[in-house]
């Protein structure tokens, strides 16, 4: 199921390969974040790409344009499929990221993180942002699109809003996928189940702990793909 991206929120390449071997037939790709990347480095990314997996490198680059240009170019040369940057890095940084990916043959899609799913209005206001989460997501999504970015990362609660202002071709990657009756929310505040997120218009769903920490990860993943297939 191409729309399911499994977050490899683990600490070792052995566990990462165990999960990718189990889930290769049901996952559309695998997300590597800072936890696993810092533990195992770029070689793991190369190995997974060489094994035929689509890798979503989620390091959320946020720096001056020159630095982000170099970082995205390095990520692109690993052969990854998609890379994250922070939309709040601004227009020039976003353009630099997109241009860096374009300079590498077969370079990755670039998606911009809007507002983390652990945030609510109170968290934003504590940072001096007077807008609501919805207003901030809308503004950052429009900024990303204007810079030529392929899409955004946002909670499922903002999918329909993003579709309205950015159109149907814009990629919307959605973490915060939880079954509210059975899954622990952990630090997630803006969540939705898989079926509802697909109905709302998500391009891809990122699911980590409900799969990787399940007693049977394959069964957990299959349950989510069944929800996706009913509404995709």
Kindly report the number of other CB atoms within 10 A of residue 181's CB atom: 6
Alpha-carbon distances, residue 161 vs 11, 118, 179, 202, 223 (angstroms): 35, 19, 22, 11, 27
Would you give the DSSP letter of residue 156? G
What's the farthest any 2 CA atoms get from each other in the chain?
Answer: 46
Catalytic residue among 31, 60, 98, 145: 60
For residue 164, indicate whether it is catalytic: no
CA distance 216 to 164: 38
79 φ/ψ sector (left φ>0, alpha ψ -120 to 50, else beta): left
3-state secondary structure of 126: helix
Contact 29, 19 (CB under 8 A): no
Q: Could you tell me where the beta strands, DSSP code E, fall in 74-219?
A: 82-86, 109-113, 151-153, 171-174, 204-207
CA distance 162 to 207: 20
Contacts of 147 (CB under 8 A, 6+ apart): 91, 94, 95, 98
Name the residues annotated as catalytic: 60
């Amino acid at each position: 199921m191409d729309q399911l991206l499994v977050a490899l929120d683990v600490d070792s390449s052995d566990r990462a390969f165990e999960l990718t071997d189990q889930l290769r037939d049901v996952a559309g790709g695998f997300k590597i974040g800072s936890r696993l990347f810092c533990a195992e480095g770029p070689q793991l990314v190369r190995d997974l790409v060489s094994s035929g997996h689509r890798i979503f490198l989620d390091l959320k680059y946020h720096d001056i344009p020159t630095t982000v240009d170099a970082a995205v170019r390095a990520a692109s040369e690993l052969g990854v499929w998609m890379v994250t940057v922070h939309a709040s890095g601004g227009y020039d940084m976003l353009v630099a990221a997109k241009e860096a990916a374009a300079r590498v043959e077969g370079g990755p899609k670039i998606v911009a993180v809007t507002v983390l799913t652990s945030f609510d209005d109170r968290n934003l206001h504590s940072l001096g942002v007077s807008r609501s989460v919805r207003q901030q997501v809308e503004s950052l999504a429009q900024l990303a699109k204007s810079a030529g970015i392929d899409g955004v990362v946002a909670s499922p609660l903002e999918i329909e809003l993003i579709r309205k202002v950015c159109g149907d071709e814009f990629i919307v990657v959605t973490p915060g996928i939880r079954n509210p009756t059975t899954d622990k929310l952990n630090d997630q505040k803006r969540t939705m189940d898989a079926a509802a997120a697909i109905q709302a218009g998500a391009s891809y769903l990122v699911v980590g702990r409900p799969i990787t920490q399940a007693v049977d990860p394959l069964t957990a993943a299959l349950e989510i793909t069944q929800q996706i297939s009913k509404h995709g």
